[in-house]
């Protein structure tokens, strides 16, 4: 296989390996969550790796394609940039912004496990009716820990009444029932109002008591003290990732905590269908709020060797030169993408820049000669010469045998006439060393006759004065094939 073809295949295989690594990374388990927890709690942050993808073409021709992002040159947006560690594992990926800028602030792959921070704040048992703050104050999420993914909130409010009742009828006993009713609560200060959907109600009894004993003391057989009547209401909801409401729970320099409040009210009594009932009640409320912050912890780059890769090439551009913090780097091996090796310590690593050049489709190399090589009754070769290297994107077309046809003379020695033979091509091989493509016709060509070649290669004109026009199955134009002035050994198919 030609050298350039081998490089392209090697590059394709390299890309496939990276794709498989990415898929594998997403499935790997993190072996030590405690270690990641320690990293997440670091306050010093991670060294930042950054740079630009830019058009390295300047009004000053001496600055064009020098590998440096000079004043007046423009950044290129939407370029993909990837970061690999010393073991060739993908650890981060991004795209350039509108200015051509990119940065890596920490490893993305493998993704760290979600961490959680939970707080519980309360309003202690307090006689209703009241409005009272929860305590302690609710601490907002510290963004230094990482990226807030969601907030889970659970509220529980309990209304309670103690009820004593006494039958005051001297002529009959009584059957007494206790009631807690018309209970209401409202929690404010959580960026939304939380309240009961319907009045809270509970009853106890009935309990039978005797006739009034003459002393109103809520004691004795004419009285009853009910077990505490208690009614709870709980609500839970989640503020999911992507919701604008998440910002309310993130701390800022001006605000690190909030203090929600509880407003609660309730009524209670005791009733009996017969007799006369006196009662006394005490009502109270208590509440808790439990909030859990789920977040992805901030991780940091470990010191070591990394490689920044820009791939694929943006449409309409070709690779120029790379530079690292002002130092222009040697070009990568042929067929490889632009790469910048980096030795990272604890400091930021800026100005890792990838220069690009505009593609020039109008200057594609042209066919400058077509020679036939062969000896009598043996395999012939037709060699097509280009005036420069073939663009790698056009190699598949150049090596496609169906893009060529060879036309012979008819028996009267005429081209473009009835009876002229047409020869298809069995194989086409490009040679990057001398910018040629060698064609092996399906049938033997007579070295004593003249032939024409037709080709359909996008972007490659045929600037020959000796072109003979004709309608070919492939379309395009035909070029006269010259006999080589010297013969050479021709390989058999």
DSSP string for residues in 57-105? --SSGGGTTSSS--TT-EE-TT-EEEEE-TTS-EEEEEE--TTSEEEE-
Nearest to 430 by CA among 403, 453, 454: 403
DSSP string for residues in 406-462? EEE--TTS-SSSTT--EE-EEEEEEETTTTEEEEEESS---TTS-EEEEE--TT---
Q: pLDDT value at position 318?
A: 87
Q: pLDDT value at position 11?
A: 36
Q: Is the pLDDT of residue 447 over 70?
A: no
Q: pLDDT value at position 17?
A: 45
DSSP string for residues in 212-278? --S--SS-STTEEEPPPEEEEEEEEEEE-TT-GGGGGGB--SS--EE--EEEEEEEEEEE-SSS-EE
Q: For residues 119 and 110, which has the higher predicted lDDT (pLDDT)?
A: 119
Q: pLDDT value at position 230?
A: 96
Q: Is the pLDDT of residue 12 over 50?
A: no
The average pLDDT across 254-276 equals 93
Banded pLDDT at 73 (limits 50, 70, 90): very high
Q: Is the pLDDT of residue 98 over 70?
A: yes
Q: Measure CA of the first residue to CA of the last residue in the chain; give whole Å.
A: 15
The β-bridge partners of 388 are none
- Note the pLDDT tens digit of each residue in 123-178: 999 999 999 999 999 999 998 888 899 999 999 999 999 999 999 999 999 999 99
Q: pLDDT value at position 418?
A: 72
Q: Considering only 17-31, 81-95, 413-427, 447-461, which range has the smallest mean pLDDT?
A: 17-31
Q: pLDDT value at position 20?
A: 41
- Note the pLDDT tens digit of each residue in 388-412: 777 666 777 788 888 887 877 777 7
For residue 121, the SS3 value is: strand
Q: Is the pLDDT of residue 354 over 90?
A: yes
Q: Which token pair is 303?
A: 């010191």
Banded pLDDT at 481 (limits 50, 70, 90): low
Q: pLDDT value at position 99?
A: 94
Alpha-carbon span 428 to 400, nearest angstrom? 6
Q: Which token pair is 276?
A: 């006369």
Q: For residues 14 and 306, which has the higher predicted lDDT (pLDDT)?
A: 306
Percent of the chain having pLDDT more than 90? 52
Q: pLDDT value at position 29?
A: 27
Please give the model's pTM, rounded to 2 decimal places: 0.49
Q: Is the pLDDT of residue 305 over 70?
A: yes
| CA distance readout (Å), 174 to 164, 168, 272, 274 | 14, 9, 6, 6
Q: pLDDT value at position 436?
A: 85
Q: pLDDT value at position 215?
A: 93
Average pLDDT along the chain: 80
Banded pLDDT at 385 (limits 50, 70, 90): confident
Q: pLDDT value at position 1?
A: 37
Q: For residues 50 and 274, which has the higher predicted lDDT (pLDDT)?
A: 50
The average pLDDT across 188-208 equals 95
Q: pLDDT value at position 410?
A: 73
Percent of the chain having pLDDT more than 70? 79
Q: pLDDT value at position 69?
A: 95
């Amino acid at each position: 296989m030609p050298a350039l073809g081998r490089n392209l295949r090697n590059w394709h295989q390299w890309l496939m390996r990276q794709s498989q690594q990415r898929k594998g990374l997403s499935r790997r388990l993190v072996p030590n969550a405690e270690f990641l927890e320690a990293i997440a709690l670091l306050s010093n942050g991670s060294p930042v790796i950054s740079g630009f993808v830019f058009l390295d073409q300047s009004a000053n021709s001496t600055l064009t394609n020098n590998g440096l992002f000079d004043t007046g040159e423009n950044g290129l947006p939407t370029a993909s940039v990837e970061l690999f560690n010393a073991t060739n594992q993908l650890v981060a990926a991004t795209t350039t912004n509108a200015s051509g800028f990119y940065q890596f602030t920490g490893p993305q792959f493998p993704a760290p496990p979600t961490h959680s921070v939970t707080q519980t704040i309360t309003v202690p048992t307090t006689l209703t009716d009241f409005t009272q703050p929860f305590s302690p104050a609710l601490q907002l999420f510290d963004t230094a820990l990482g990226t807030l993914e969601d907030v889970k909130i659970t509220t529980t409010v309990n209304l309670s009444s103690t009820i004593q009742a006494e039958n005051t009828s001297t002529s009959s006993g009584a059957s007494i029932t206790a009631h807690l009713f018309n209970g209401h609560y409202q929690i404010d200060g959580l960026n939304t109002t939380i309240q009961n959907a319907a009045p809270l109600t509970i009853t106890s009894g009935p309990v039978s008591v005797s006739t009034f004993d003459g002393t109103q003391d809520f004691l004795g057989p004419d009285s009853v003290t009910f077990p505490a009547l208690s009614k709870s209401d709980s609500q839970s909801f989640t503020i999911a990732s992507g919701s604008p409401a998440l910002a309310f729970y993130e701390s800022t320099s001006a605000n690190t905590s909030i203090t929600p409040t509880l407003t609660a009210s309730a009524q209670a009594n005791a009733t009996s269908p017969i007799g006369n009932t006196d009662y006394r009640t005490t009502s109270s409320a208590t509440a808790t709020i439990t909030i859990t912050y789920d977040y992805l912890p901030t991780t940091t780059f470990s010191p070591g060797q990394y490689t920044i890769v820009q791939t694929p090439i943006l449409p309409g551009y070709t690779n120029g030169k790379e530079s690292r913090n002002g130092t222009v780097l040697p070009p990568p091996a042929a067929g490889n993408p632009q790469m910048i090796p980096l030795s990272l310590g604890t400091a930021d690593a800026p100005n890792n820049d990838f220069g690009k050049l505009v593609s020039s489709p109008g200057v594609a190399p042209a066919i400058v000669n077509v020679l036939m090589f062969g000896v009598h009754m043996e395999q012939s070769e037709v060699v097509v010469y280009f005036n420069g290297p073939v663009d790698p994107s056009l190699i598949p077309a150049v090596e496609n045998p169906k893009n060529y046809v060879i036309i012979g003379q008819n028996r009267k020695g005429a081209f473009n006439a009835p009876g002229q033979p047409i020869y298809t091509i069995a194989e086409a091989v490009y040679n990057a060393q001398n910018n040629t493509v060698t064609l092996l016709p399906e049938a033997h060509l007579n070295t004593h006759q003249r032939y024409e070649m037709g080709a359909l290669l996008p972007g490659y004109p045929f600037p020959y004065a000796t072109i003979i026009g004709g309608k070919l199955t492939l379309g395009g134009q035909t070029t006269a094939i010259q006999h080589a002035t010297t013969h050479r050994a021709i390989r058999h198919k």
